[in-house]
Structure formats: structure tokens, C-alpha cells
Amino acid sequence: MTVLLEARNIGKRFGGVQALKDVSLTIRRGEIYGLIGPNGAGKTTFFNVLTGLYPRDAGTVILAGAPLALGEPHRVTQAGIARTFQNIRLFANMSARENVMVGRHARSKVGVGGAVLRSRTQREEEAAIRRRADELLAYVGLLERADALAKNLAYGDQRRLEIARALATEPQLLALDEPAAGMNATETAALRGLIEGLRRDGLTVLLIEHDVKLVMGLCDRVAVLDYGEKIAEDVPAAVRQDARVIEAYLGGSLE
Amino acid sequence: MNGAWMAQRWQRNPRFGLVLIALALVALPFVVGAGLGNTWLRVLDFALLYAMLALGLNIVVGFAGLLDLGYIAFYAVGAYIYALLASPHFGLHWPVWAILPLGALVACGFGVVLGAPTLRLRGDYLAIVTLGFGEIVRIFMNNLNAPVNITNGPKGIAGIDPIQIGGHALTQPLEFFGVTVPGLALTYYLFLGLTLLVMLAGLRLQDSRIGRAWVAIREDEVAAKACGINTRNVKLLAFAMGASFGGVAGGLFASFQEFVSPESFSLMESVMVLCMVVLGGMGHIPGVILGALTLTVLPEAFRHGAGPVQQALFGQVLVDPENLRMLLFGLALVAVMLYRPSGLWPEPRHRLELGAK
């Protein structure tokens, strides 16, 4: 398997707190890569640095062989990393379809002139955006709710809509920040099916998750963060046996 | 021809409705002119100018969600560009078709100048900065008469050329197939045409990639960035588009009044245009137009109606109509915001969703 993303020595400090320290990890094309760790370990910080929301203090990220310009989220998205948010961030007063259509922004280009004149290019592009949005809504199973406002969707549907919106940006890497947070067992099972489907379709997924069972069952490889440092990176079965991981989670060794 | 029949035709063929509206719009200046006189015809022309302004501000406030309290500055820029290039002040008399696009362009530039330093600001903070910007422009107009006299200071610029189309000044009546069309009605048709163009541009922008990006920024800026939207450029675009509509309206205003002075561009004017957008229904183009028409016509109606009504009721004028006008106007605003918080004519989809709950 080829390497899709390589993060080298990522560092991030908030005032006196070293939130990330020398974090390096490698994600291979086509795998589901889990990032776990106790509360406050720096998982979401890593996500925000990776997707450009926070400027980083140190380190580089290589995506598909090219260095990633961090610090400008829209350029990270254009380069091929899409994300969802821990606390869902949809465009509440737009319909489900429009939410996904916004995701096509980076992959379309007609500007003000084309829009005002309704040029042929504009109409064709608009139709293509709409078609793709409907395909993605169907993919996550929300097509019949396409015209509902995002804020009126059920919780699980909102999570899936956010994934559809992220997919609309044609990512090489899909980064999901605690997608199962707040979900009941049925919804989590449906989500699991969706993520497995993504892997089958060749997408690479980076998954932050609290639900250890979900991570261990779903991921090809898992990295564990603790106090901003990577303490383990391996296949789930090996990580589960790792003494440092057990210590981080249980606050002491098991002897 | 009864109401039920009309409603039936309308449902069967929406085009029939459009034709009716078009006929009504064409006939309106004659009905108003004959029934209420030239004063009201002028009010009608002003209502259209304000509709253009409100449509421009709607892009910034309604679509992109950027609270702009200095919008009138762009109107001022457009008006002064027209005044300087088509008046005896500098002895220049450029044709209108050269000045209006130039006014739009310069106002657009001012929009970017205002937008660039305020990109990180939102809500209250942005409102304060834009308010300051509006005042700065007005104060510049007020003081740029020394050391070099550019704007003629508080005295303003008079004798501005009226708009000429095909050699015919819009202040003169025009004989048309035996019907005399008064100058104010000609102005009405020009303003109506331009308002419709601005409206069409707004509708098309709203339903486009750029329009969706604006709304996305309004809804959640962080998520918009994560969707690959360059929020800096897209916000600047909103400021620039809104400003250029304001610039065109300003040029028309200058030619229509044949006089500009800084006092026409006070903070109160910015607030009025913002009221039109909010009261009509932020982000909903027909609502914004309704808001502009209501807030232009209603105060005038109070001004002209309050005196005679008091005379008839009490036999004398108890309260000066001018004072009463602002009181009633304020009450009307409060009432609308209390009972229709999303505006007189909000986006039907949102209302539907609220009703369904």
C-alpha cells in the first residue's frame, strides 16, 4: 500500500500547554486509520492543525507526495482533505441538498459574471453540481430528505449529511471527528456500515473516536495520543496489548 | 372580470400574472400622477432608488450576513462621481452611460477598501467599523473644499445634468404616439428598468455557486472554510457587489435631484436602508423590495395624511404632522419586529418549515 499522508513532527502549543509534541504518523492509501486517546490528549487539536484551522508551530505534512500548505483551511480542502466536526457544523438554514452543493465549491469555478449572465457554462456546471449532490445524498441515504432544512434533520441524519458534504469536495482523505458521538446503538451500526462502504469504494479515512469498540472493529491501524504525544501506532490487536496504552487509559498498569 | 376568475387564470398560467404585473407597473405613474400629483410621482421614483439600494445592501447583510452600518457611503461615492463629472462645478459634462459604470466601479473599489480590513470582524464589531467608515466618507465630502475645492464642502454641488437618453433629457415630457409622458414618469421607467436588472442579478446570484458560498459564510464561517470556500475573497466579493449597486443608485440620485450635498448621506440614511432590508425580510429579494417601498411610501403618507385626518377628526391640527410622522414610523417598526420578526415577506421556505413544526 502506498503512503497517502505523512505528518512529521507536528507541534502545537497553546500558551503554556504543549498540546501536540513531535507527533508523526503515516496514513496509507485506502485504509481506515484511527486516532484515539483519553480526553484532552490532543486528538481534535491534531485534526485542526491538519485541516488548517489552527496554525502549527512545528512540523510538515506531505499529502500524496506534495507538502501541504497548512494554515489556510480552504487550500487544505482543495488539496484533498475533507473533514467533519465533533459538534456538527452544518449550514442550518440551508436545505440538505444545498449543504452538499456548497461542498462542490472548491471543485467548480463559475464566478459572478457567469452567474449574472446565466452563461451556458454556468448552467451546465450548476446542473452537474446538483446531480453530484443528489448522488451523494443517495449514497448516505438522505435523498428523500434533500429539501429539508439541515436544522430540521434528525441527529443521525445530520451526521450523515456532514459526511456527504465532505465527500462533495472530492477528498483523498476523509477526516471524521468523533462521528459516533451522541449516537445510539442503531445509529452507530448504520454509521459503521457507511464508513465500511467508503473503504470499499477506495477512500482513505482518518477517524477520531471515543468509542473504542467501534475503532477497534473498524480500523486497519490505530494511533494513540496521550498528553500530546503519540504513544503507540499499530494494528488494533497490538495496540490493545500495548502496556503504555493500557496505562494511559487506566491510569496505571494492570499488574 | 371577477377576482375568482383572475385567480384561476393565474394558477393555470403564471405568465398571465406576470403580464398583469407588467401592465400595472407601466400604468402606475399615470394613475399616481393623475390621482395624487407630481409629489407622489417623485416619491415613487425615490422608492425605486431605495429599492436598488436595499437590494445592494441585501447582498452584504442578507446573503453574506455581514452587518454594514455605513452602506450609504457607496451611495455617496456614486452620487459624487456623477456630480463631479456632469455639472458646471468642474465644467465636465460626461454622458450618463459613461458615468454610471464608472460610479459603480469606484464604489466597488471603496467596497473592497472597506472590506479588506474588516474581514476578521463579525456582528457588532463589524457594525461599528462600517459605521465609522460611513461617517468618514461623509466628513470627507464635507471638508474636501480646501485646500483644493473638490466637493464644494457643505454647500454641495448644484446644477447637475439630468439624465439624457438619445438626446432627450428626462426632465422634459415626451410625446409618445400622441400621449404626453411627463419627465417624472420617464425617470420612473428608467429607474424601474434598472431596479428590475438589479433584482434579476440578485436572484441569479442567490441561486449560484457564489450565492451559496455567501449564505454558507453567514451560517457558519468555519464550516464554509472547511468546504473549500476562500472566505476572504468571497466576503470581499459581497462587499464589492453590494457597493457597486449602491454606486449606480447614487449616480441616479444625483442626476434626479440635480444637487448633492453631504447631508444626504448621514448615518440615518444607512439605518433606513438597513431597516428596509430587515423589515422586508433579510435575504429574500421580493421582501427586500417590499420593505424599501413600504419604508419610502409610508412616512410620506403620514406626512401628507396626518394633517387632514386630524382636521377631520378634531377640527384642528393638534400635533405637527412632521413630528407625528416619525412617531408613527417608529411604532410601525416596533410592531413589525414584534409580530413578524423575520420580516414582512420572509423566504417562504423558512416560513413553511416553521409552520410544519
CA distance between the termini of chain B: 39
**Contact between chains at B201 and A77 (C-beta distance less than 8 A):** no
Check whether the bond before B262 is cis (ω within 30° of 0): no
**Contact between chains at B216 and A94 (C-beta distance less than 8 A):** yes
The three-state (H, E, C) secondary structure of chain A, written as one string: CCEEEEEEEEEEEECCEEEEEEEEEEEECCCEEEEECCCCCCHHHHHHHHCCCCCCCEEEEEECCEECCCCCHHHHHHHCEEECCCCCCCCCCCEHHHHHHHHCHHHCCCCHHHHHHCCHHHHHHHHHHHHHHHHHHHHCCCHHHCCCEHHHCCHHHHHHHHHHHHHCCCCCEEEEECCCCCCCHHHHHHHHHHHHHHHHCCCEEEEECCCHHHHHHHCCEEEEEECCEEEEEECHHHHHHCHHHHHHHHCCCCC
Residue B44 half-sphere exposure toward CB, CA atoms < 13 A = 24
Distance of CA B4 to the CA centre of its chain: 35
- Residue numbers in B near A102 (CB within 8 A): 212-213, 216, 224, 227, 229
Architecture of domain A1-80+171-255: 3-Layer(aba) Sandwich (3.40)
ipTM above 0.90, yes or no: yes
More confident position, A66 or B349: A66
**∠ Cα A253 A229 A40 (to 5°):** 80
Every domain of chain A and the residues it spans: 1-80+171-255, 90-169
How many other C-beta atoms lie within 10 A of the C-beta of residue A74? 22
Which amino acid, one-letter code, is at A105? H
- Residue numbers in B near A122 (CB within 8 A): 208
- Residues B252, B49: contact at Cβ < 8 Å? yes
- Best of B227, B229, B239, B245 to mutate (most A CBs within 10 Å, chain A): B227
Beta bridge partners of A82: A174
Whether the CB of A237 is below 8 Å from some CB of chain B: the reply is no
Distance of CA B331 to the CA centre of its chain: 22
**Contact between chains at A105 and B237 (C-beta distance less than 8 A):** no
**Contact between chains at B204 and A116 (C-beta distance less than 8 A):** yes
The alpha carbon of residue A37 is apart from the nearest alpha carbon of chain B, in Å, by 24
**Contact between chains at A51 and B226 (C-beta distance less than 8 A):** yes
**Residue A255: pLDDT over 60:** no
pTM for the model: 0.91
Which of A227, A228, A232 has its CA nearest to residue A244? A232
Interchain CB contacts (distance < 8 Å): A and B: 105
Which of B58, B23, B16, B39 has its CA nearest to residue B249? B58
Whether the CB of B349 is below 8 Å from some CB of chain A: the reply is yes
- Best of A105, A107, A161, A176 to mutate (most B CBs within 10 Å, chain B): A105
- Residue numbers in B near A104 (CB within 8 A): 209
**Contact between chains at B226 and A126 (C-beta distance less than 8 A):** no
**Residue A178: pLDDT over 60:** yes
More confident position, B295 or A69: B295
Whether the CB of A118 is below 8 Å from some CB of chain B: the reply is yes
**Contact between chains at A105 and B357 (C-beta distance less than 8 A):** no
**Contact between chains at A101 and B212 (C-beta distance less than 8 A):** yes
pLDDT above 90 as % of chain A = 71
Report pLDDT digits (tens) over A134-168.
999 999 999 999 999 999 999 999 999 999 999 99
Whether the CB of A171 is below 8 Å from some CB of chain B: the reply is no
Which of A111, A82, A92 has its CA nearest to residue A177? A82
Beta bridge partners of B6: none
Which pLDDT band holds residue A212 (cuts at 50, 70, 90)? Answer: confident
Q: Residues A53-71: what's their mean pLDDT?
A: 87
The three-state (H, E, C) secondary structure of chain B, written as one string: CCHHHHHHHHHHCHHHHHHHHHHHHHHHHHHHHHHHCHHHHHHHHHHHHHHHHHHHHHHHHHHCCCCCCCCHHHHHHHHHHHHHHEECCCCEECCHHHHHHHHHHHHHHHHHHHHHHHCCCCHHHHHHHHHHHHHHHHHHHHHCCCCCCCCCHHHCEECCCCCEECCEECCCCEEECCEEECHHHHHHHHHHHHHHHHHHHHHHHHCCHHHHHHHHHHHCHHHHHHCCCCHHHHHHHHHHHHHHHHHHHHHHHHHHHCEECHHHHCHHHHHHHHHHHHHHHCCCHHHHHHHHHHHHHHHHHHHHHHHHHHHHHHCCCCCCHHHHHHHHHHHHHHHHHHHCCCCCCCCHHHHHHHHHC
Whether the CB of A106 is below 8 Å from some CB of chain B: the reply is yes
pLDDT of residue B354: 46
* A90 Cβ contact partners less than 8 Å away, ≥ 6 residues apart: A99, A150, A151, A158, A161, A162, A165, B219, B220, B223
Whether the CB of B350 is below 8 Å from some CB of chain A: the reply is yes
Q: Of A52, A74, A115, which has the smallest distance from its Cβ to B229's Cβ?
A: A74
Residue A176 half-sphere exposure toward CB, CA atoms < 13 A = 29
The alpha carbon of residue B251 is apart from the nearest alpha carbon of chain A, in Å, by 22
Q: Which of A199-203, A242-246, B101-105, B326-330 has the lowest average pLDDT?
A: B326-330
Residue with cell string 457507511:
A194
**Contact between chains at B222 and A51 (C-beta distance less than 8 A):** no
Whether the CB of B237 is below 8 Å from some CB of chain A: the reply is yes
* A123 Cβ contact partners less than 8 Å away, ≥ 6 residues apart: none
**Residue A63: pLDDT over 90:** yes
**Contact between chains at A85 and B229 (C-beta distance less than 8 A):** no
**Contact between chains at A108 and B209 (C-beta distance less than 8 A):** yes
Burial B315-342 (b: 16+ CB within 10 A, else e): eeeeeebeebbeebbeebeeebeeeeeb
* B93 Cβ contact partners less than 8 Å away, ≥ 6 residues apart: B86, B87, B161
**Along chain B (357 residues), what's the average pLDDT of each consecutive run of 10 residues?**
66 80 88 86 95 97 94 97 94 92 96 90 89 94 90 93 85 80 90 96 94 95 95 95 96 95 94 94 94 91 82 82 80 88 81 44
| Rounded distance between C-alpha atoms, residue A214 and residue B217, angstroms | 33
